[in-house]
Amino acid sequence: VIEPPLRIAVDAMGGDRAPAHVVEGCLLAAADGDVRLLLVGREAEVERELDRLAAGKGSILSRIELVPAEEVVAMDEPAVTPLRRKPDSSIRVCVELVKEGRARALVSAGNTGAAMAAVKVVLGTVPGVDRPALAAVLPNAGGRTVLLDVGANVDTRPSHLREFAVMGHSYAREVLGTATPRLGLLSIGEEESKGSEFSREVFRVLQQTGLEFVGNVEGSDIFSGRVDVVVCDGFVGNAVLKSAEALADLATRMLQEEIDATLRSRLGYLLARPAIDRFTERTDYAEYGAAPLLGVPAGCFVAHGRSNPKAICSAIRRATEFVRARVHEKIRDRVAELHDEEQRVTARAAGGAGSEPETLAH
Amino acid sequence: VIEPPLRIAVDAMGGDRAPAHVVEGCLLAAADGDVRLLLVGREAEVERELDRLAAGKGSILSRIELVPAEEVVAMDEPAVTPLRRKPDSSIRVCVELVKEGRARALVSAGNTGAAMAAVKVVLGTVPGVDRPALAAVLPNAGGRTVLLDVGANVDTRPSHLREFAVMGHSYAREVLGTATPRLGLLSIGEEESKGSEFSREVFRVLQQTGLEFVGNVEGSDIFSGRVDVVVCDGFVGNAVLKSAEALADLATRMLQEEIDATLRSRLGYLLARPAIDRFTERTDYAEYGAAPLLGVPAGCFVAHGRSNPKAICSAIRRATEFVRARVHEKIRDRVAELHDEEQRVTARAAGGAGSEPETLAH
């Protein structure tokens, strides 16, 4: 069976250099004949970029369809904007295309909060999932770590982190190809007794999941390769992700400053440049594409506002893999299994509790 | 008035390469005639290192006194070990030297939890401070950021974060020399309305402090230079600090791997090496010395387990500056001022509340 080409909706107006960088990223991604892109945004602006960038790329252009949307949600507007004030915004139209079945996934480098809100409200969640979570894919010593939640939720309950664990596990296995993902709970100190009241409760919940739960891990293990999936509340994950991104930027800038300071080091840089470029590539967020919003019934990828064309292209590829691997169906099935298991455990416990008073009365 | 040399107790047995690296760091620090070091640990082992490292440094040696302590708290032992099982451990003896007034500060690169527990229990806290906090000093684009708490406390209340703010502010001003430290609250999103229930409550508390509170900041601002002090719960701060350290390590290792991969880039590295070394120095934790435990009535510095001699020397220098600047007295005074102010506000509010019903009744 040959599957028909996948349709992905792309928010042409999202990102610091939109629509130019988004259009360029779409042209890169559409070089793959397996995908069709619905490019959503202000018609005249997007067309101008397509004309400028797609000269002589007729066959690629035929895989891109322009879908007009006249409004744009700015980076600093409230998350509810696409739901309330701007129903004809590019991000809202992307979400509607998915809802209508015209696209199977969407990619946006625009306002993250607005994209998440529109997706959650318009598409709803996967059955059994209470809280969708934003996952970051980060480099580690031997591969990649999935960290979630990095900002979709605050004030979570322990049962939400169990959902995050199941979703992160499915993503690592189905999209990143990690055969048996090892799961860690972000905490302070590794022993079971360490952590906050909340994290100790989550520990007990994660022990019941049947996933390969290695226990508490510390912030350092996000980058060590000791685990493949790290779960935490969105407040903590957001602080970790944003500080890590800023540190990587600061380090790159400092290195460049020092190299630029003398002729000798500039010469050395010319020689070492391929190595330094490979290094930059290994640590560049653009390589990792975008953050998937897990737990919603479609592939929804939120890319960094600064996304360059390569990052947009990566995000589209991840979205394609996500849909082909049926990740959200797998999340749904696994969550349902967990619920069944819990009910059995609860029923057994209730049966035990029912007979216990009698036993004690003897 | 010429002040007498300061006495600092140093845990000779703490750290991955103790006592060798600690002794070497002490010899570096004691080159400054203004300081006297009490080197605490197993007599024979420490003496052997002193003999090996201090040949021909008689004048420096005269500033170092060996204080015997036969027990050692290992990195993985529980925090209560120096209090319960090992009263003659090097860290416990350091703390006792401070309590007896024989030293004004202490430095340890050993078990952080054990050091904090011994200090808090034996020395108590600064009057008015409920929860001492561990502060990390991190590089930012233009200088340094103080991040606290990075692990002394979990399950904090909003009033604890007000204490952290006051303590971080005093440290930035008195030790790092920041004239008017700007304070940020680590959160998710910058608007006042953003964050968790807890962080929104902290926001309101910090507005009342009279410090230059710029509001919510995100993880990226720890490294941006937008603020000088960032406060958060110890669970979050610990995750941020440990992940940032691990990322910096991973990036350095990846850069080295890429450079080692070809002859051309190795040649380039030889030329660019002074620049790369200056870069490493700027990002090296050893430059920043150790994390001060703020809110206790002495200078207590916890250095990284991997501390090299330079890091130990930096930690001793920071401890000296801490004592000379009378940081803990300033923290005590500022906390007392805040309490007075609060009582006035509460009194006014109570007075207002008493008369308000009458006004409303007219």
Of B155, B220, B274, the CB nearest to A246: B220
Dihedral of alpha carbons B231, B234, B235, B238, sign: positive
Q: Which of A235, A277, A287 to mutate to test the interface with B (most CBs of B within 10 A)?
A: A235
Sequence-ordered alpha helix ranges (H) in chain B: 20-29, 43-53, 58-61, 90-99, 112-123, 158-174, 197-207, 234-260, 263-283, 309-324, 327-361
On whether the CB atoms of residues B66 and B74 are closer than 8 A, the answer is: no
pLDDT above 60 for B50: yes
CB contact under 8 A, B246 and A196: no
Of A189, A235, A240, the CB nearest to B243: A240
B116–chain A nearest CA distance, Å: 14
A236–chain B nearest CA distance, Å: 6
Nearest residue of chain B to residue A279 (CA atoms): B255
Distance, CA of B174 to CA of B325 (rounded, Å): 6
**Non-local CB neighbours of B125 within 8 Å, separated by 6+ positions:** B131, B132, B295, B296, B297
CB contact under 8 A, B246 and A223: yes
- Containing A266, the helix (H) or strand (E) segment is helix A263-283
Q: What mean pLDDT do residues B288-295 have?
A: 86
Mean pLDDT, all residues of chain B: 89
A151–chain B nearest CA distance, Å: 7
Dihedral of alpha carbons B5, B11, B13, B15, sign: negative
Q: What is the pLDDT of residues A141-167, one digit of tens each?
A: 888 999 999 999 999 999 999 999 999
Cβ neighbours of B249 in A, within 8 Å: 223
Q: Does A143 touch chain B (CB under 8 A)?
A: no
CB contact under 8 A, A275 and B282: no
Q: Does A276 touch chain B (CB under 8 A)?
A: yes
Mean pLDDT, all residues of chain A: 89
Which ipTM score applies to this complex? 0.88
On whether the CB atoms of residues A266 and A139 are closer than 8 A, the answer is: no
Nearest residue of chain B to residue A273 (CA atoms): B265
pLDDT above 70 for A362: no
Q: Does B250 touch chain A (CB under 8 A)?
A: yes
Give the pLDDT score at A340: 83
Name the pLDDT band for A358 (thresholds 50, 70, 90).
Answer: very low
* Range scoring the smallest mean pLDDT among A38-47, A230-239, B281-290: B281-290
Of A197, A245, A255, the CB nearest to B279: A255
CB contact under 8 A, B219 and A239: yes
**How many other C-beta atoms are found inside a 10 Å radius of the C-beta of residue A205?**
18
Give SS3 for B134: strand
Nearest residue of chain B to residue A233 (CA atoms): B236
B163: DSSP letter: H
On whether the CB atoms of residues B124 and B103 are closer than 8 A, the answer is: no
Query: Number of A:B CB contacts under 8 A?
Result: 200
A29–chain B nearest CA distance, Å: 28
CB contact under 8 A, A154 and B264: no
Q: Does B248 touch chain A (CB under 8 A)?
A: yes
Where in chain A does DSSP place strands (E)? 6-11, 35-41, 64-68, 105-108, 133-139, 144-148, 182-186, 212-217, 229-231, 291-294, 299-302
Give the pLDDT score at B352: 55
pLDDT above 70 for B295: yes
Q: Which two tokens stand for residue A73?
A: 């949600």
Give the pLDDT score at B115: 96
Q: Which two tokens stand for residue A66?
A: 């322009």
CA distances from B23 to A199, A311, B63, B355 (A): 39, 50, 13, 67
Of A187, A248, A268, the CB nearest to B247: A248
Half-sphere exposure of B226 (CA within 13 A, CB side): 18
Q: What is the pLDDT of residues B226-246, one digit of tens each?
A: 999 999 999 999 999 999 988
**Based on C-alpha coordinates, what's the Rg of chain A?**
23
Q: Does A236 touch chain B (CB under 8 A)?
A: yes
pLDDT above 50 for A354: no
B325: DSSP letter: T
**Non-local CB neighbours of A289 within 8 Å, separated by 6+ positions:** A137, A301, A303, A311, A314, A315, A317, A318
